[in-house]
Amino acid sequence: MQQPVPFGKYILLERISVGGMAEVFKAKSFGVKGFAKIIAIKKILPQLAEDVHFVDMFVNEAKTSVQLTHANICQIFDLGREGNDHYIAMEYIGGKDLLSLHNYFRRTRVRMPVHLVAYIAARMCEGLDYAHRRKGQDGEPLGIVHRDVSPQNVIVSYDGGVKIIDFGIAKARTRNYQETQAGVLKGKFGYMSPEQIEGAREIDHRSDIFAIGTVVHELLTGKRLFLGDSDFATLEMVRNAEVPAASMTNPEVPPELDNILFRALTRNPDDRYAWASDMADDLNELGHAMGRAFNAQALGEWMVEHFAADIAKEKARHEIYAEIDGTSSPDDSTELDATKVDDPLNAPMMGSLNSIEEEEETALWEPLEEKQLPPARPQPRHMRPTVDALPAVSRQPAAAPPAAAATVDARPPLAMTTERRSGNSTRRDLLVALALVLLAGAGGVLAYRALDAHKTGGPTAGLVVRVDPPEDVTIYVDNQVVAGRSPFVQKELAVGPHALRVEHNGYQPWVGTVDVRQDEVTEKQVKLAPVAAVPARVLFVISPPDAALTVDGHVVTAGELASYLSVPSGRDVVVEARREGYETHRETLRADPGVSRTLNVALVPTKGSLFVDSNPPGDVVVDGQRRGRTPQSLHDLDVTREYVVRVERQGYEAHEERVRFGERRDVQVEPRLKPAGRRP
């Protein structure tokens, strides 16, 4: 867990993303009578803070963005300045951006159901349409064009909301900051429109519609739409706008959705949807026609099923953050150490801001390479050297330590900074003074824990934690993430009891206490117990729709077929469908725990034979087609349909009858023809 940092009237809790131009922090704001709210703070990177030209654009674009109030647009609360840092306070969105979803699909080989992708696309269209049509106080259109609609700028919240972020930054970047930010659009060329590539003077809202089509196409197929071997090749692909049908990669995509994307992705803006709302109308109509839940609740349920572990971790963080109050103002002497690299275990809960995108093709079925941490940035000139942060170890007070024992070895991603003075005694005094300042300020709760727990110069011991299974675990010591795999070794830990928690997806969390003894290395063995198998969810699409379906012997009702059905996971499940006139369909299904998927079950009609003979012989006509002279045998007929059989002979009355197979597979028609004009 990162240490909180006072920042003006806010407290920065943890950094959740950083890009080439700005960084975003989860923060806490305070009001009267104990009011508090988790928000996001986006601030210009230190190396850009002194660029007057960029700051002016940042401020002007923020003033425009604050006028946008829509359910599908991230809300802006405040524009301010703290010291030399300009910042924007905005809505915090707990969820995943579409780029994170792409990466999740690659790791898990899961696709989001098509109707939920269509729902996300419709909400994107509605949010952008609102921005495109927004007028100022003078009644004139503001002419807002996002210009950077890309996967990292669309967030799906855990409750099923869809939010578009970064209107202002995108517009400022593409128009006015190219001379000092060369290459800032690297990786974004694939989400431009052809008119942007060709440098058209007037870029209107239809450019965003093209970008929507690109993002949605990739979400359906799981791979990049426009990505060449070089930037130039990518630009050429966008300029030519040659788009394959998404259904060629994802057979669950209906033709209607292909047509919607083709219209959004046409090279000529005049051939696209005139407004994003027109595209939203078509998507909404398609969603309802698909006969499945087309709402935020369905999307939220899907997110909860697939990201339950992330939601639980965020909830645990917020429970700790709830203890932080804003009873006093932060001290101006504390600054943020932006040179520290964030803890890799703290996955971003909000879309990354201007993050550099992967250049390789995003293929749904390829393994995801291990993500490398970015190198630490050089320390900005205007920031003071940092002091090692206080680790959370013991809660027992300690006597004044000897000067030689004042070294601290902890590495939280965010740390408080102050002036470093020579001498171990001076350093110790600074540590104590800094902690007391935090005690008096808004970050007092966690600072108190750190100070009270730190026995400077007191007895320490070692701790080794071994976990079975060892990979992909999250180890917490005293509510702080300390390791992502086993074994974990801590050389210097205060003597006494420490809270220990171990988490692993698919296993029950282990919670306990470990007692560290002086001058000993305490070893703790933790064996995690698998959680009970989480059922999978399957949406069965049956053809013909009135066929009887059973899953492991359970008869599925028509009502159950209308939505996802929970099925056992991790083992073989027998799926069987029957209908008169069709071959029985039987298959074995093995679903992964907690995964939602669609299963198409198409029954094949059984074949029937028709034998036609007559006295005297005549010509056989079936459904208007002549099939030869009697006797005549016809095979490979569809037993589910009706046939009109007619026997004709010159000078005789024609015989005609309708034939149905029913449960039979062989039908005979043997009429005795009557001479023409003969009365019975």
pLDDT tens digits, 569-614: 778 889 999 988 788 999 998 877 767 788 888 888 888 889 999 9
Q: Give the whole-angstrom CA distance, residue 514 versus residue 210.
A: 57
pLDDT of residue 358: 38
Handedness of CA 282, 284, 288, 293 (dihedral sign): positive
Burial class (CB in 10 A: 0-12, 13-18, 19+), 377: middle
The DSSP result for 560-613, as a single string, is HHTS-EEE--SSEEEEEEE-TTBPPEEEEEE--TT-EEEEEEEPPBPEEEEEE-
Say how far apart CA 30 and CA 8 lie, in whole Å. 11
Could you tell me the two tokens for 395? 């809660």
The conformation of residue 454, written as its DSSP 8-state character, comes to -
What pLDDT shows up at residue 327?
57
Is residue 470's pLDDT more than 70?
Answer: yes
User: Which bin fits 299, alpha (ψ -120 to 50), beta or left (φ > 0)?
Assistant: alpha
Q: Retrieve residue 477's tokens.
A: 């010591």
The answer to whether the CB of 68 falls within 8 A of the CB of 136 is no
Instruction: Judge whether residue 408 has pLDDT over 70.
Output: no
Phi, psi of 84 (to 5 degrees): -100, 10
Give every CB contact of residue 457 below 8 A, 6+ residues apart in sequence.
Answer: 398, 400, 401, 402, 405, 406
Q: What was the pLDDT predicted at 177?
A: 40
Distance of alpha carbon 612 from alpha carbon 624, whole angstroms: 15
Q: Which amino acid is at 143?
A: G
- Which bin fits 215, alpha (ψ -120 to 50), beta or left (φ > 0)? alpha
Whole-angstrom distance between the N-terminal and C-terminal Cα of the chain?
A: 99
- Looking at the predicted structure, is the pLDDT value of residue 237 above 70? yes
pLDDT in tens, 181-216: 433 343 478 999 999 888 766 788 999 999 999 999
**Distance, CA of 484 to CA of 505 (rounded, Å):** 12
- More confident: 271 or 321: 271
Q: Compute the mean pLDDT over every residue in the chain, rounded to the nearest whole number.
A: 76
pLDDT confidence bin for 566, thresholds 50/70/90: confident
Query: 191 vs 218, 227, 233, 314, CA distance in Å?
Result: 11, 10, 14, 31
Counts of helices then strands in the chain (DSSP H, E) = 14, 32
Indicate the Cα dihedral angle 181, 170, 49, 350, nearest 10°.
Answer: -120
Q: Output the pLDDT for position 435.
A: 44
Asked whether residue 361 carries a pLDDT value surpassing 70, the answer given is no
Q: How is 57-106 classified by DSSP, letter by letter?
A: HHHHHHHHHTT---TTBPPEEEEEEETTEEEEEEE---EEEHHHHHHHHH
Could you say which DSSP state residue 32 is in?
A: G
416-417 vs 480-483, strand pairing mode? unpaired
Residue 458: the pLDDT is: 64
Q: 450 has which bridge partners?
A: none
User: In what side-by-side order are the strands of the sheet with 95-97?
Assistant: 95-97, 154-157, 162-164
Output the pLDDT for position 187: 41
Partnered with residue 44 across adjacent β-strands are 22
- Where is average pLDDT lowest: 175-189, 525-539, 622-636? 175-189
Half-sphere CA count of 420, side-chain side, radius 13 A: 10
Position 211 scores a pLDDT of 96
Strand partners, 637: 608
The answer to whether 411 and 1 are in contact (CB under 8 A) is: no
Q: How much of the chain exceeds pLDDT 90, in percent? A: 30
Write down the pTM of the prediction. 0.53
The token pair at 32 is 């009267």
pLDDT at 486 over 80: yes
Q: Which residues are catalytic?
A: 148
How many other C-beta atoms can be found within 10 angstroms of the C-beta atom of residue 411? 12
Three-class secondary structure of residue 221 per DSSP: helix
Tokens of 630: 């009697």
User: Which of 259, 239, 232, 234 minimizes the C-alpha distance to 247?
Assistant: 259
User: What pLDDT is stored for residue 455 in this prediction?
Assistant: 39
Judge whether 561 and 550 are in contact, CB under 8 Å. Answer: no
Res 314: pLDDT: 87
Of 142 and 178, the structure prediction assigns the larger pLDDT to 142
Structure tokens at 422: 């020579």
Note the pLDDT tens digit of each residue in 256-266.
Answer: 999 999 999 99
CA-based nearest residue to 109, from 371, 367, 357, 370: 367
pLDDT above 50 (res 388): no
Buried b or exposed e, range 239-269, using 16+ CB within 10 angstroms: bebebebbbebbebbbeebbebbbbbbbbeb
Q: Are residues 211 and 192 in contact, defined by beta-carbon separation less than 8 angstroms?
A: yes
Q: Which residues contact 123 (CB under 8 A, 6 or more apart)?
A: 72, 162
